[in-house]
Structure 1
Amino acid sequence: MSITSPAPRDEWRRLLAADPQAVATQTPEWLDCLCARTGRETKRSGARPWKTVDASRLYDLPGGRRGVLPLVARTVAGVPVAEESFPYGWGYGGLVAEGGVTADDCRVVLADLARRPVVRTGVVPTSLAGAAWADAAPERAIRVPYTAQVVDLSPGYDHLWEKVFKRQVRNSVRKAERFSLDVRRERGDDPDGVGVRAFAELYGQQVDRWAAQRGQPLWLAHRVAAAQDRPGQVAAVAAAMGERCVVWSAFHEGRPVAVNVVLQHGRHALGWLSAMDDALSRETLATYVLHTRSFADAAAEGVHWFHMGESDPGSAPERYKAYFGAASISYEALRFERLPLTRADKGLRHVVAKASEIHARRREAARDR
């Protein structure tokens, strides 16, 4: 089997156009943003010891077809230590192939990844492609379960409004009209960048709110947020993706209320990131307006599937997405590890959650004295 790495960009783009399952996060532009935004020097972290580089792979698949796996490598002193499609928090990866991906294609890719001389390698497919990857996964693969919510736009927006959306959605959109919300749709590369700036402002508010809800020390929440740098990611992705990045924002009397960032490619739209003023969005019902506007816009452009992201089964976010007709789909990220990194990460998250719980109890006890 012939493999070329990094994958030639012209062939990569040809395969994107030939794959009805392809999404925006499988494009070269997305991978370039990922490489540019991770491993960079920041004021808080200084120079980081690793770099993230393009490790995409072009495969000659059985039957004369070809496929590209968007893949990034994290290197230390020029030596790859991890190769992922994609790292946690950077969206969906997985193979792009002529006519769509089959389980046989996935077996070829997973067998190749399992042989890579790195500490960890893995794939995070889209939920709709998850079954093919799960069927192809060998026994030694580590399976990380997720549940995504996806709306079928193929019947058209009018059908969604009349037959699919719950009454709460329709009533909320009608009630929102009395607030005269200023709703804006911008391309990612819009020179004004109003929505991008509003996202940064609202996300900063959310970090403080999440810290209070979790009982997390504020300094720790700010440290984690600075390392993730979601506002910086949004600005970089918007500039690079252009018309494939749609920034929806709502304002009330000049104040930003909510922002949704949507990534579109072919038949798929991804609700990537969002931020809101919690109290003002509840009062104005702006999130209902932004979701319905983004669905109508995507359906008009021929999008069949709107991916609303992941939420735990039975959670409040999952129930909220169900109001719009989102179906929950279970799928798995797949990893191969030479060291137990997934187990260690799970343990660290448990420790952080326990520490936050103890911190919250102490604060509550201090208030009661």
Structure 2
Amino acid sequence: MTLQAYRVSIEAAGIDARPAWADLVEQDQSIALSKTPQWADCICSSDHFSDATLLFRGEDGRRLILPRLRNPSVPGIFASPPRHWNLGADASGFLSEGGPASPRETSALVQEIRRHPGLRTRVVVGEDDAQVWASVVPSTVYSTARTAQVLDLRGSFSTVWSKRFTGKVRSNSRKAERRGVVVESDSTGRLIPVFDVLYRRSVDRWAQDRGYPLTLMRWLAQRQHPQKKFETVARRLGECCTVWIAWRQGEPVAGIINLTRGPRVTYWRGAMDKELSRGTGANELLHRCAIEAACAGERQSYDFGLSQTAHLKRFKGTFGAGEVPVQIYYFERFPTVATEAKCYAAAKQSIQAAMRIAHTGRLARVPGDTDLMMTGLEPR
């Protein structure tokens, strides 16, 4: 027997949906940060977006929310959330009154998005939402799969330390303390400038590691993650945004920014000075201190977020973080995202190939120095 479809209708959008949205969030502290008006305000204050959240009303009177933002520079483009504002497994999806939306309700809401996508609507879903969405979203909708890593904090910190951290994390944490690494935390925004210095150094390192032009990487980082963005999030979230900095001999060597709401702590951004932090165990000690504080605050999970490289994925796994599926859906009036993704990948490969050729050419001009050509080291 086929169940009758659940009926929903759009009741309000944008600022008109805000009172109902705020009311639902206030009622339930377990709601993920990415589904709150506070996070939308962080994005709108830092980037060129405006609130386009949708309030739905179900046939049974239930209120359902899709947090959504509009890009005013390109009419008809919506995102939940925009790129560069993902929060790992703490993804978006629907916020529903009285508990998670059922597959039947989610199916009806997805159909509404498909009927009203604008030119394009991007929706990121994680954890349990990802499984429900996968069962109801048509296969014709373009999507990409990602993976977040989440550490279970239930039990005391001693349980996390002894049973979930690997021996490598415990050893490196102790080594960092022996080598004079000191960790400082702050929730007033005072340490944002220190973190930003480390972040810009990391950008330079990423350019070298990934084979991208330094000028291009610096421009992209400044455009996507300026210091103003970190400052805005720290100011708007207050005590829910904590900056952790590892110091050694008076110099900052590594830093992270963590965001907290209800039972979740999310590792949002990280940076380090690779030369100063090399062999110190500073990164392990940073996360150990942050995780210990989360346990003391009776949080239930520590979300390490999405990983851009296999190396980062392995590093997060040493803390005992398990993998959580994250899916990114694109609802389009005209199907162009798949083609754009292929063009983007081809452009990246072309840039990297050009950089390798240029790098080899510079080395080839060093007469008789074949070792430099083989190792990729340039003469000073």
**Same fold by TM (over 0.5)?**
yes
Contact 1:156 1:299 in 2 (8 A): yes
What are the Cα deviations for residues 102-136 of structure 1, in whole angstroms up to 9, with x where unaligned? 32332232112111252111211233431122222
The answer on whether the counterparts of 1:23 and 1:269 sit within 8 Å (CA) in structure 2 is no
The residue number in structure 1 matching 2:146 is 146
**Helix, strand or coil at the partner of 2:191:** helix
Distance 1:362 1:36, change over 3 A: same
Residue 178 of structure 1 corresponds to which residue in structure 2?
Answer: 178
Q: State the match for 2:204 in structure 1.
A: 208
Letter in 2 for 1:93: S
- Structure 1 residues 198-218: Cα deviation after superposition (integer angstroms, max 9, x where no partner): 111011111111111222122
What is the DSSP-based 3-state SS (H/G/I as helix, E as strand, rest coil) of the residue aligned with 1:361?
A: helix
- The aligned residue for residue 76 of structure 2 is 81
2:348 equivalent to 1:349: no
**Number of residues of Structure 1 aligned to a counterpart in Structure 2:** 350
Structure 1 residues without counterparts, runs of 5 or longer: 40-51
| TM-score, normalising length: structure 2 | 0.86
User: Do the aligned residues in 2 keep the contact of 1:214 with 1:360 (CA within 8 Å)?
Assistant: no
Q: Distance in 2 between matches of 1:175 and 1:117?
A: 53
- Is 1:323 the equivalent of 2:332? no
| 1:2-151 equivalent positions in 2, closer than 5 A | 2-6=10-14, 8-19=17-28, 22-39=31-48, 52-76=49-73, 80-91=75-86, 92-97=91-96, 98-116=98-116, 118-151=118-151
Post-superposition Cα deviations, 1:67-100, rounded to whole Å, max 9, x if no partner, equal 2211001124xx8321110111111322122323
Deviation at 1:220, TM superposition (A): 1.3
Cα distance change on mapping 1:160 and 1:184 into 2, 3 Å: same
Moved more, 346-355 or 17-26: 17-26
Change in Cα spacing, 1:11 to 1:138, as seen in structure 2 (3 Å) is same
Alignment check: 8 A CA contact 2:117 2:333 kept: no
Tell me the SS of whatever aligns to 2:340. helix
Q: Find the partner of 2:261 among 258, 265, 279.
A: 265
Per mean C-alpha deviation after superposition, the further-off stretch among 299-308 and 168-177 is 299-308
Distance 1:69 1:156, change over 3 A: farther
Q: CA deviation at 1:368?
A: 3.1
Once residues 128 and 303 of structure 1 are traced to their aligned partners in structure 2, the CA distance between those partners, rounded to angstroms, is 19
Q: Which residue of 2 aligns with 1:333?
A: 328
Distance in 1 between residues matched to 2:150 and 2:36, nearest whole Å? 20
Show CA shifts across 1:303-358 (max 9, x none). 21211011268x22111111111111223111112230343133223212322232
For the structure 1 residues 17 and 162, does the alpha-carbon distance in structure 2 shift closer, same or farther, using more than 3 Å as the test?
farther
Label 1:113 to 1:349 Cα distance change in 2 as closer, same or farther (>3 A). Answer: same
Moved over 4 A (4+): 17-21
Change (3 A) 1:117 1:213: closer
Corresponding residue of 1:282: 278
Match of 1:125, SS state, is strand
Contact 1:57–1:70 (CA<8 Å) still a contact in 2?
A: yes
In structure 2, the CA distance between the partners of 1:61 and 1:278, relative to structure 1 (3 Å rule), is farther
Deviations 1:268-287 (A, max 9, x none): 11111111111222232111
Aligned to 2:378: none
TM-score with structure 1 setting the length: 0.88
Q: Is the 8 A contact 1:250 1:290 kept in 2?
A: yes
Residue matched to 2:377: none
Write the letter of the residue equivalent to 2:173.
Answer: V
Paired AA for residue 93 in structure 2? G
2:59 and 2:174 map into 1 onto residues whose CA distance is 54
What secondary structure is seen at the aligned counterpart in 1 of 2:76?
strand
Q: Partner residue of 2:222?
A: 226
What SS does structure 1 have at the residue aligned with 2:260? Answer: strand
- Contact 2:147 2:326 (C-alpha < 8 Å) held by counterparts: yes
* Superposition deviation, residue 165 in structure 1: 0.8
Who is 1:45 aligned against?
Answer: none
Work out the CA distance in 2 between the residues paired with 1:154 and 1:241.
Answer: 25
Read off the aligned partner of 2:162 and give its amino acid letter: E
- Alpha-carbon distance change, 358 to 122 in structure 1, aligned in 2, over 3 angstroms: same
Go from structure 1 to structure 2 and tell me whether the alpha carbon gap of 1:274 and 1:105 turns closer, same or farther (over 3 Å shift): farther
Q: 5+ residue gaps in structure 2?
A: 1-8, 366-380
State the structure with more CA Rg. 2
Counterpart in the other structure of 1:296: 292
**Cα displacement string for residues 217-255 of structure 1 (whole angstroms, at most 9, x for unaligned residues):** 222112212211342211111111111111111111221
Distance in structure 1 (CA, Å) of the matches to 2:204 and 2:171: 31
Secondary structure of the structure 2 residue equivalent to 1:80: coil
CA deviation profile, 1:114-170 (whole Å, cap 9, x unmatched): 112521112112334311222221233111110111111112321111111100011
Distance 1:230 1:318, change over 3 A: same
Q: Which of the numbers 213, 226, 241 marks the counterpart of 1:245?
A: 241
Task: Please give the root-mean-square deviation of Cα atoms over the aligned residues, in Å.
Answer: 2.1
